[in-house]
Protein backbone atom coordinates (compact mmCIF):
# COMPACT_ATOMS: atom_id res chain seq x y z
CA UNK A 1 0.00 0.00 0.00
CA UNK A 2 1.06 3.59 -0.52
CA UNK A 3 2.56 5.28 2.48
CA UNK A 4 0.95 8.21 4.24
CA UNK A 5 1.54 11.56 2.52
CA UNK A 6 3.51 12.77 5.53
CA UNK A 7 6.21 10.29 4.56
CA UNK A 8 6.95 12.13 1.33
CA UNK A 9 9.82 14.52 2.14
CA UNK A 10 8.44 17.69 0.58
CA UNK A 11 10.19 20.92 1.54
CA UNK A 12 9.15 23.36 -1.21
CA UNK A 13 5.95 24.51 -2.93
CA UNK A 14 5.87 26.09 -6.37
CA UNK A 15 3.26 27.43 -8.77
CA UNK A 16 2.28 24.84 -11.36
CA UNK A 17 -0.58 23.75 -13.56
CA UNK A 18 -2.85 26.57 -12.43
CA UNK A 19 -2.31 25.73 -8.78
CA UNK A 20 0.56 24.53 -6.65
CA UNK A 21 2.86 21.53 -6.68
CA UNK A 22 5.32 20.26 -4.11
CA UNK A 23 8.77 18.76 -4.18
CA UNK A 24 12.13 18.34 -2.54
CA UNK A 25 14.77 21.03 -3.13
CA UNK A 26 18.48 20.61 -2.40
CA UNK A 27 20.98 23.46 -2.66
CA UNK A 28 24.68 23.36 -3.55
CA UNK A 29 27.40 24.63 -1.27
CA UNK A 30 28.12 27.50 -3.66
CA UNK A 31 25.94 30.61 -3.81
CA UNK A 32 24.66 29.74 -7.29
CA UNK A 33 24.51 26.73 -9.59
CA UNK A 34 22.71 25.36 -12.64
CA UNK A 35 19.12 24.26 -12.16
CA UNK A 36 18.29 20.57 -12.37
CA UNK A 37 14.91 18.81 -12.28
CA UNK A 38 15.13 15.27 -10.87
CA UNK A 39 12.17 13.08 -11.83
CA UNK A 40 11.11 10.17 -9.65
CA UNK A 41 10.72 6.50 -10.44
CA UNK A 42 7.32 4.81 -10.19
CA UNK A 43 7.86 4.37 -6.44
CA UNK A 44 7.24 8.09 -5.81
CA UNK A 45 9.36 10.75 -4.11
CA UNK A 46 11.15 8.23 -1.92
CA UNK A 47 14.24 8.48 0.23
CA UNK A 48 16.25 7.19 -2.71
CA UNK A 49 15.19 10.14 -4.88
CA UNK A 50 15.91 12.52 -2.01
CA UNK A 51 19.39 11.02 -1.69
CA UNK A 52 20.00 11.40 -5.43
CA UNK A 53 18.79 15.01 -5.29
CA UNK A 54 21.19 15.71 -2.43
CA UNK A 55 24.01 14.10 -4.41
CA UNK A 56 23.27 16.31 -7.42
CA UNK A 57 23.32 19.35 -5.14
CA UNK A 58 26.71 18.23 -3.79
CA UNK A 59 27.92 18.28 -7.41
CA UNK A 60 26.95 21.96 -7.69
CA UNK A 61 23.35 21.88 -8.94
CA UNK A 62 20.23 23.55 -7.54
CA UNK A 63 18.26 20.30 -7.67
CA UNK A 64 14.48 19.97 -7.44
CA UNK A 65 12.58 16.67 -7.34
CA UNK A 66 8.85 17.36 -7.94
CA UNK A 67 6.40 15.10 -6.13
CA UNK A 68 4.23 13.78 -8.96
CA UNK A 69 2.14 11.53 -6.71
CA UNK A 70 1.08 14.28 -4.31
CA UNK A 71 2.69 12.66 -1.30
CA UNK A 72 2.20 8.95 -1.94
CA UNK A 73 5.16 6.60 -1.97
CA UNK A 74 5.42 2.82 -2.05
CA UNK A 75 7.90 -0.03 -2.14
CA UNK A 76 5.33 -2.43 -3.58
CA UNK A 77 5.64 -3.03 -7.32
CA UNK A 78 1.91 -3.60 -7.87
CA UNK A 79 1.06 -0.40 -6.04
CA UNK A 80 3.75 1.48 -7.94
CA UNK A 81 2.30 0.25 -11.22
CA UNK A 82 -1.13 1.45 -10.18
CA UNK A 83 0.14 4.88 -9.15
CA UNK A 84 2.01 5.26 -12.44
CA UNK A 85 -0.98 4.15 -14.52
CA UNK A 86 -3.27 6.61 -12.74
CA UNK A 87 -0.94 9.57 -13.31
CA UNK A 88 -2.08 11.56 -16.38
CA UNK A 89 0.95 12.26 -18.55
CA UNK A 90 -0.31 15.71 -19.55
CA UNK A 91 -0.89 16.72 -15.91
CA UNK A 92 2.51 15.48 -14.84
CA UNK A 93 4.19 17.36 -17.68
CA UNK A 94 2.43 20.56 -16.66
CA UNK A 95 3.58 20.05 -13.07
CA UNK A 96 7.10 19.45 -14.30
CA UNK A 97 6.93 22.60 -16.44
CA UNK A 98 6.17 24.48 -13.25
CA UNK A 99 9.32 23.03 -11.71
CA UNK A 100 11.37 24.28 -14.67
CA UNK A 101 9.94 27.78 -14.35
CA UNK A 102 10.40 27.77 -10.58
CA UNK A 103 14.10 26.99 -10.95
CA UNK A 104 14.64 29.56 -13.68
CA UNK A 105 13.07 32.25 -11.47
CA UNK A 106 15.37 31.54 -8.51
CA UNK A 107 18.23 33.96 -7.88
CA UNK A 108 20.58 31.09 -7.01
CA UNK A 109 20.08 29.36 -10.36
CA UNK A 110 22.62 30.33 -12.99
CA UNK A 111 21.83 30.59 -16.68
CA UNK A 112 18.54 30.60 -18.53
CA UNK A 113 18.27 26.83 -19.09
CA UNK A 114 18.00 23.81 -16.81
CA UNK A 115 18.88 20.15 -16.96
CA UNK A 116 16.47 17.27 -16.46
CA UNK A 117 17.30 13.79 -15.23
CA UNK A 118 14.89 10.96 -14.46
CA UNK A 119 14.70 7.26 -13.77
CA UNK A 120 12.32 4.56 -15.01
CA UNK A 121 8.96 6.37 -15.25
CA UNK A 122 10.90 9.58 -14.74
CA UNK A 123 13.09 8.75 -17.70
CA UNK A 124 10.13 8.89 -20.05
CA UNK A 125 9.03 12.16 -18.45
CA UNK A 126 12.51 13.59 -19.05
CA UNK A 127 11.99 13.20 -22.79
CA UNK A 128 8.41 14.50 -22.73
CA UNK A 129 9.42 17.53 -20.67
CA UNK A 130 12.42 18.34 -22.84
CA UNK A 131 10.27 18.23 -25.98
CA UNK A 132 7.53 20.30 -24.32
CA UNK A 133 9.84 22.97 -22.88
CA UNK A 134 12.14 23.36 -25.89
CA UNK A 135 14.88 25.92 -25.28
CA UNK A 136 14.36 26.00 -21.51
CA UNK A 137 16.03 22.58 -21.22
CA UNK A 138 19.70 22.31 -22.24
CA UNK A 139 20.42 18.74 -21.10
CA UNK A 140 18.14 15.71 -20.77
CA UNK A 141 19.26 12.46 -19.12
CA UNK A 142 16.80 9.55 -19.08
CA UNK A 143 17.75 6.36 -17.25
CA UNK A 144 16.01 3.22 -18.61
CA UNK A 145 12.82 5.13 -19.57
CA UNK A 146 9.46 3.40 -19.04
CA UNK A 147 6.05 4.72 -20.05
CA UNK A 148 4.55 7.02 -22.66
CA UNK A 149 7.32 8.49 -24.80
CA UNK A 150 7.14 11.39 -27.24
CA UNK A 151 6.03 10.55 -30.77
CA UNK A 152 7.56 13.72 -32.22
CA UNK A 153 10.97 15.07 -31.19
CA UNK A 154 10.98 18.13 -33.43
CA UNK A 155 10.57 20.41 -30.38
CA UNK A 156 13.59 18.94 -28.63
CA UNK A 157 16.49 21.36 -28.26
CA UNK A 158 18.30 19.70 -25.37
CA UNK A 159 21.32 17.48 -25.72
CA UNK A 160 20.36 13.93 -24.69
CA UNK A 161 22.34 11.33 -22.74
CA UNK A 162 20.42 8.07 -22.24
CA UNK A 163 21.30 5.03 -20.13
CA UNK A 164 19.95 1.53 -20.87
CA UNK A 165 20.53 -1.87 -19.27
CA UNK A 166 21.29 -4.76 -21.61
CA UNK A 167 19.37 -7.16 -19.38
CA UNK A 168 16.42 -4.88 -18.61
CA UNK A 169 13.25 -6.94 -18.16
CA UNK A 170 11.06 -3.84 -18.62
CA UNK A 171 12.85 -1.99 -21.42
CA UNK A 172 14.17 -3.99 -24.39
CA UNK A 173 17.71 -2.85 -25.13
CA UNK A 174 16.67 -2.48 -28.77
CA UNK A 175 14.57 0.51 -27.70
CA UNK A 176 17.84 2.42 -27.33
CA UNK A 177 18.31 2.21 -31.09
CA UNK A 178 14.70 3.23 -31.66
CA UNK A 179 15.13 6.26 -29.42
CA UNK A 180 18.31 7.29 -31.20
CA UNK A 181 16.62 7.01 -34.59
CA UNK A 182 13.53 8.96 -33.48
CA UNK A 183 15.56 11.80 -31.98
CA UNK A 184 17.77 11.96 -35.07
CA UNK A 185 14.69 12.05 -37.30
CA UNK A 186 13.11 14.86 -35.28
CA UNK A 187 16.16 17.00 -34.63
CA UNK A 188 18.93 15.98 -37.02
CA UNK A 189 21.12 15.28 -33.98
CA UNK A 190 22.25 11.94 -32.58
CA UNK A 191 21.87 11.46 -28.82
CA UNK A 192 24.60 9.98 -26.65
CA UNK A 193 23.43 6.53 -25.58
CA UNK A 194 25.17 4.06 -23.30
CA UNK A 195 24.30 0.42 -22.71
CA UNK A 196 25.34 -1.34 -19.51
CA UNK A 197 25.64 -5.05 -18.64
CA UNK A 198 22.90 -4.67 -16.05
CA UNK A 199 19.17 -4.94 -15.47
CA UNK A 200 16.42 -2.38 -14.97
CA UNK A 201 16.95 0.20 -12.20
CA UNK A 202 20.63 -0.70 -11.92
CA UNK A 203 21.25 2.72 -10.36
CA UNK A 204 18.73 2.32 -7.53
CA UNK A 205 20.69 1.32 -4.44
CA UNK A 206 17.51 0.49 -2.55
CA UNK A 207 17.62 -2.59 -4.83
CA UNK A 208 13.88 -3.17 -4.76
CA UNK A 209 14.05 -5.24 -7.94
CA UNK A 210 17.29 -7.01 -7.06
CA UNK A 211 19.07 -5.39 -10.02
CA UNK A 212 21.28 -2.75 -8.40
CA UNK A 213 24.82 -2.79 -9.80
CA UNK A 214 27.20 -0.48 -7.95
CA UNK A 215 29.89 -0.50 -10.63
CA UNK A 216 27.52 0.31 -13.48
CA UNK A 217 25.66 2.86 -11.32
CA UNK A 218 28.94 4.64 -10.59
CA UNK A 219 29.87 4.72 -14.26
CA UNK A 220 26.47 6.09 -15.28
CA UNK A 221 26.66 8.69 -12.49
CA UNK A 222 30.09 9.90 -13.60
CA UNK A 223 28.94 10.20 -17.20
CA UNK A 224 25.78 12.03 -16.12
CA UNK A 225 27.57 14.60 -13.96
CA UNK A 226 30.13 15.33 -16.68
CA UNK A 227 27.39 15.65 -19.31
CA UNK A 228 25.29 18.01 -17.18
CA UNK A 229 28.23 20.26 -16.42
CA UNK A 230 29.26 20.29 -20.09
CA UNK A 231 25.85 21.57 -21.13
CA UNK A 232 24.82 23.72 -18.17
CA UNK A 233 27.96 25.44 -16.86
pLDDT tens for each residue of the chain, 233 residues long = 334 344 557 788 888 877 888 899 999 988 899 999 999 999 989 999 999 999 999 999 999 999 998 888 888 888 988 989 888 888 888 889 999 999 999 999 999 999 999 999 999 999 999 999 999 999 999 999 999 899 999 999 999 999 999 999 999 989 999 999 999 999 999 999 999 999 999 999 999 999 999 999 999 999 999 999 999 98
The single-letter DSSP state of residue 211 is -
How many CA atoms within 13 Å lie on the side-chain side of 216?
22
For residue 100, CA distances in Å to 78, 195, 203 come to: 30, 28, 24
The answer to pTM > 0.75 is yes
Measured between alpha carbons, how far is 54 from 38 in angstroms, rounded to an integer? 10
What is the tens place of the pLDDT at every residue in 133-153? 999 999 999 999 999 899 999
SS (H, E, C) 140-154: EEEECCCCCCCCCCC
Q: What is the pLDDT of residue 30?
A: 82
Measured between alpha carbons, how far is 47 from 51 in angstroms, rounded to an integer? 6
- Residues 99, 68: contact at Cβ < 8 Å? no
Amino acid sequence: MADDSANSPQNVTFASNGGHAHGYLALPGADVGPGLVVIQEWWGLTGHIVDLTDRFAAEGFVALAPDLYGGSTTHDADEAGRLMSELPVEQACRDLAGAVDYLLQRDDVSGDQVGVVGFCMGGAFVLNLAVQEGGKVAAAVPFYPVGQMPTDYSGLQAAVLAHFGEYDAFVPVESADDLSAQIAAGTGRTPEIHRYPAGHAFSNDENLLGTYDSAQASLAWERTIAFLHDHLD
